C-alpha cells in the first residue's frame, strides 16, 4: 500500500512538473536571459516600478516573459485582503506585446543577464520547478515577496547564494520608510496614512539586498556587479547585467514620475486649520453672532480632527489584532491617536462633559506628553520625531481646547 501511495505521489509530481510554465531548453548555449524593469507609474500600484524576467530560446524560437505581479484586481475582497496581508498573487507567462501594451506609458528597460552555461542550467531548473501550478501562487508582501524579490532569489540560488552574500554586507543608507514616504507621496493621503500606520520595523537601515525589493535598484546594482564563473570568481571584463536599454525607444528616467518626498505638508495643514479655528473662537468669543460662528467653527474643526484621530487609532488597533502585516503591529503612534477619540465629536456641540469624558481627555493629554517624551529621548526605535513636531501639537491643542470649552460652560452656569 505504501509503495502504491509513493508511486501515486511521484506520478502527481511528474504531472505538475510537466505542466510547468517553463520548459527547460535543450541547448542552453542558444538561450538569452533578460531582466526587464518598468519605471514608476502614476497609479498607486505602480509607484515602485516592476520587474519581469524574459528568456529567449533561439533554437526552438520560444520566448517566455514571466511576471510575478499578477492578481485579481476585480476581487471585491482586495482591500481587506491587503490589510490582512492575505493578498494572493501569482506568476504568469505573458507575450512581449502584452507587456509593451501594459507599460506603454512608462519607461521600460531591458538588460541581458550574463550567466555561464552551468549557471543557466541551474537557473532554468529552478524556473521549471517553481513555475508549476502548485508553486506559482504566493502571498504578496510589499518588501519581501514581490515581482522583484522572487526572481532575484532564483537568480541568487543559481549563483550559489553569491549575490545575497555580497549585498547583505553593503548598507544602503536608507530605510523602508524612506521609500514609503517618497514613492507614495502621491496620492498625498496614502503616504500620510501609511507613515502613521507603520511601525519601527520599517525604520532600520536596510542593506542593499533588502533594498532590491525596489526594481530600479536591481537595474542599478546588478549592472555594476561582475558576472561570476562556475567557481563563483568575479569576472574582470563582464558585468552580471548589461547596460540598460530602453525597450520602447523613449529616453526617460526610470523614476521619472517621482518628485521629492513631501515634508509632511498634510501635518502642517492640519496644524494651521486648528490654530485658525482656535484663533477665531478666541477673537470672537464675546461678540454676539461672531462668537457663535467662531465657537461652531472651532467645534466642527475639533470634531473633524477627532474623527481622523479615531479612524487612525482604530485602524492601528485592527491591524495589530487581525493583520499579518508585522510592520503594523505594536505601533507607538497608538499613544497619539486613540480609537475612542470620536469622544471629541460626540461632546463638542453640547459643550458639557461627564466625568468619563473629562478623565478620558486628561488621560489623553498625559498620553501625548508621554508619546513626545519617549520619542524625543530615543526610547522607541520608531521614527516619530516628525509627528511629535507637527501632529502632537495639533492633538494636544484639540484636547486642551475641548477641556477649556467645557470649563467655560461651567463658569457660565456658575
323 part of a folded domain: yes
In this prediction, what percent of the chain has a pLDDT beyond 70? Answer: 80
> What average pLDDT does this structure show over 111-130?
97
The gap between the terminal CA atoms of the chain, to the nearest Å, is: 90
Do both 223 and 294 map to the same domain?
no
> What value does the mean pLDDT of the chain take?
85
3-class secondary-structure state, position 170: coil
Do both 308 and 223 map to the same domain?
no
Highest mean pLDDT among 37-46, 181-190, 334-343: 334-343
Please give the residue that has the higher pLDDT: either 49 or 9.
Answer: 49
Please report which helix (H) or strand (E) contains residue 389, including its range. Answer: helix 385-390
Do both 25 and 76 map to the same domain?
yes
197 part of a folded domain: no
The predicted pLDDT at position 12 comes to 45
CA-nearest of 329, 338, 332 to 385 is 332
pLDDT band at 155 (very low <50, low <70, confident <90, very high): very high
> What average pLDDT does this structure show over 336-355?
77
User: Model-level pTM?
Assistant: 0.86
CA distance 222 to 1: 51
From 197, 217, 246, give the residue that closes a domain: 246
The predicted pLDDT at position 10 comes to 43
pLDDT of 50 higher than 90: yes
CA distance 238 to 55: 20
pLDDT of 320 higher than 50: yes
pLDDT of 31 higher than 80: yes
The predicted pLDDT at position 357 comes to 83
Do both 312 and 406 map to the same domain?
yes
From 199, 217, 246, give the residue that closes a domain: 246
pLDDT band at 281 (very low <50, low <70, confident <90, very high): low
Total number of domains in the chain: 2
pLDDT of 294 higher than 90: no
Do both 235 and 318 map to the same domain?
no
Do both 16 and 79 map to the same domain?
yes
From 246, 273, 308, give the residue that closes a domain: 246
> What average pLDDT does this structure show over 163-186?
93
Query: With left for phi above 0 and alpha for psi between -120 and 50, is residue 214 left, alpha or beta?
Result: beta
The predicted pLDDT at position 342 comes to 83
At a CB cut-off of 8 Å and minimum separation 6, what does 62 contact?
23, 25, 56
180 part of a folded domain: no
Q: What is the DSSP letter of 263?
A: -
CA-nearest of 70, 89, 91 to 22 is 91
Do both 344 and 238 map to the same domain?
no
Please give the residue that has the higher pLDDT: either 18 or 303.
Answer: 303
Q: Give the residue numbers spanning the domain of 49.
A: 2-172+207-246
Strand pairing report for 245-246 and 108-112: antiparallel
| Cell numbers linked to 283 | 477673537
195 part of a folded domain: no
63 part of a folded domain: yes
12 part of a folded domain: yes
CA-nearest of 305, 301, 284, 302 to 293 is 284
CA-nearest of 279, 404, 387, 395 to 353 is 404
pLDDT of 8 higher than 80: no
Contact status, residue 31 vs residue 57, Cβ threshold 8 Å:
yes
Beta-sheet strands, E only, within 97-175: 108-112, 137-139
CA distance 266 to 160: 47
Q: Given 3-state DSSP classes, what are the helix, strand and coil percentages for the chain, each rounded to the nearest 5?
A: 50, 15, 35
> What average pLDDT does this structure show over 213-223?
96
Do both 312 and 229 map to the same domain?
no
What's phi and psi for 345, nearest 5 deg?
A: -75, -40
Taking each helix axis from N to C terminus, what angle separates 392-413 and 289-322, rounded to the nearest 10 degrees? 130
199 part of a folded domain: no
pLDDT tens across 381-405, in order?
999 998 998 889 889 988 888 887 7
Please give the residue that has the higher pLDDT: either 188 or 87.
Answer: 87
> What average pLDDT does this structure show over 328-353?
82
Do both 153 and 6 map to the same domain?
yes
Query: With left for phi above 0 and alpha for psi between -120 and 50, is residue 355 left, alpha or beta?
Result: alpha
198 part of a folded domain: no
The predicted pLDDT at position 80 comes to 76
Do both 301 and 227 map to the same domain?
no
CA distance 400 to 361: 8
Do both 226 and 327 map to the same domain?
no
Do both 104 and 148 map to the same domain?
yes
pLDDT band at 83 (very low <50, low <70, confident <90, very high): confident
Amino acid at each position: 500500500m505504501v509503495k502504491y501511495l509513493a508511486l501515486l505521489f511521484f506520478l502527481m509530481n511528474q504531472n505538475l512538473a510537466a505542466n510547468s510554465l517553463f520548459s527547460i531548453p535543450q541547448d542552453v548555449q542558444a538561450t538569452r536571459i533578460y531582466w526587464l524593469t518598468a519605471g514608476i507609474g502614476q497609479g498607486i500600484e505602480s509607484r515602485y516600478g516592476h520587474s519581469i524576467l524574459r528568456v529567449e530560446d533561439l533554437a526552438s524560437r520560444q520566448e517566455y516573459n514571466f511576471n510575478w505581479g499578477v492578481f485579481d484586481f476585480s476581487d471585491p475582497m482586495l482591500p481587506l485582503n491587503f490589510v490582512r496581508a492575505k493578498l494572493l498573487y501569482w506568476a504568469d507567462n505573458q507575450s512581449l506585446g502584452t507587456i509593451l501594451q501594459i507599460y506603454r506609458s512608462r519607461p521600460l528597460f531591458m538588460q541581458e543577464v550574463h550567466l555561464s552555461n552551468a549557471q543557466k542550467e541551474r537557473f532554468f531548473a529552478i524556473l521549471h520547478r517553481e513555475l508549476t501550478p502548485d508553486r506559482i501562487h504566493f502571498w504578496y508582501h510589499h518588501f519581501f515577496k514581490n515581482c522583484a524579490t522572487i526572481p532575484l532569489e532564483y537568480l541568487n540560488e543559481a549563483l550559489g547564494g553569491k549575490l545575497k552574500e555580497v549585498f547583505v554586507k553593503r548598507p544602503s543608507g536608507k530605510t523602508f520608510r524612506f521609500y514609503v514616504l517618497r514613492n507614495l507621496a502621491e496620492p498625498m493621503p496614502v503616504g500620510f496614512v501609511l507613515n502613521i500606520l507603520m511601525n519601527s520595523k520599517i525604520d532600520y537601515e536596510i542593506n542593499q539586498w533588502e533594498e532590491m525589493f525596489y526594481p530600479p535598484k536591481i537595474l542599478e546594482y546588478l549592472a555594476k556587479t561582475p558576472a561570476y564563473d562556475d567557481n563563483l570568481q568575479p569576472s574582470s571584463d563582464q558585468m552580471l547585467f548589461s547596460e540598460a536599454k530602453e525597450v520602447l525607444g523613449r529616453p526617460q528616467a526610470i523614476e521619472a514620475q517621482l518628485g521629492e518626498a513631501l515634508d509632511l505638508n498634510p501635518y502642517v495643514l492640519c496644524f494651521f486649520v486648528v490654530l485658525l479655528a482656535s484663533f477665531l473662537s478666541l477673537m470672537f468669543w464675546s461678540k454676539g453672532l461672531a462668537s457663535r460662528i467662531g465657537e461652531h467653527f472651532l467645534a466642527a474643526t475639533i470634531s473633524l480632527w477627532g474623527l481622523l484621530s479615531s479612524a487612525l487609532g482604530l485602524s492601528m488597533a485592527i491591524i495589530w489584532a487581525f493583520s499579518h502585516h508585522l510592520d503594523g503591529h505594536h505601533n507607538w503612534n497608538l499613544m497619539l491617536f486613540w480609537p475612542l477619540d470620536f469622544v471629541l465629536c460626540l461632546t463638542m456641540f453640547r459643550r458639557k462633559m461627564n466625568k468619563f469624558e473629562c478623565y478620558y481627555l486628561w488621560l489623553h493629554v498625559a498620553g501625548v506628553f508621554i508619546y513626545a517624551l519617549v520619542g524625543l529621548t530615543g526610547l522607541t526605535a520608531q521614527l516619530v520625531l516628525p509627528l511629535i513636531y507637527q501632529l502632537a501639537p495639533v492633538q494636544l491643542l484639540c484636547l486642551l481646547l475641548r477641556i477649556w470649552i467645557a470649563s467655560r460652560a461651567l463658569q457660565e452656569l456658575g
